[in-house]
Amino acid sequence: MSDPILPAVPPQAPRLNSRFWPWLMRALLRLSGWRLLGQLPDQPKLILIGAPHSSYWDGVWGLMMKIGLGVNINIMIKREVLEGPLGVILRPIGMIAINRKAALNVVGQMVKRFNERERMWLGITPEGTRKHVMHWKSGFLRIAHEANVPIQPIFIDYPSKTFTLGPLVWTSDDPDADMLAIRALFRPYRGKHRNTETA
């Protein structure tokens, strides 16, 4: 489905089983003025990373875009949250449980999920917090490398009210070089309270 505020969804993308909620989210996005620019890759498995993440609103706009597209992008959340009443709402929109006490660490749990599924898109905020950090968490790189899936950067820019899809990135055997190259892609964009380089 093509839309001025959202790109077309490629055939291999995992889909949500709903028509009403995507229609509603697209309507709300039109009213808000926010858009998702670029082209979604035709990949059955990938990791999407969004930055700079400096506000709760990043998650609001991102969730509206994900549902508006009708794409099932999984977001990690503590297992205890999904076991409570909120689980009824959060599971259908792609939230997946993480067991922090399991023998496998979070990276191992996600690699296992990727290996078990034919299609899976996973969304991660590499900064790990809304506060300014000098170093991004490397978990997304490790998951991508071990599961052999590409990384889709998403640049958040409040001045233009856009999320922009960047070039698809495949990891190498040098995670430090990969991290530097990926972070450099985000430098021109500004979040609600900061960019990725300044506090």
Specify the pLDDT at position 198.
47
Low-confidence ranges of the chain (pLDDT < 50): 1, 103, 198-199
Which residue ranges make up each domain of the chain?
Answer: 20-185
Specify the pLDDT at position 131.
73
Specify the pLDDT at position 148.
98
Strand order in the sheet with 35-37: 35-37, 162-165, 151-157, 45-51, 120-124, 73-78, 95-98
Specify the pLDDT at position 101.
63
Specify the pLDDT at position 80.
64
The phi and psi torsions of 36 (rounded to 5 degrees) equal -110, 120
Specify the pLDDT at position 88.
59
| CA–CA distance, 65 with 173 (Å, rounded to integer) | 33
Strand partners, 6: 3
The torsion region of residue 161 among left (phi > 0), alpha (psi -120 to 50) and beta comes to left
| CA–CA distance, 186 with 51 (Å, rounded to integer) | 7
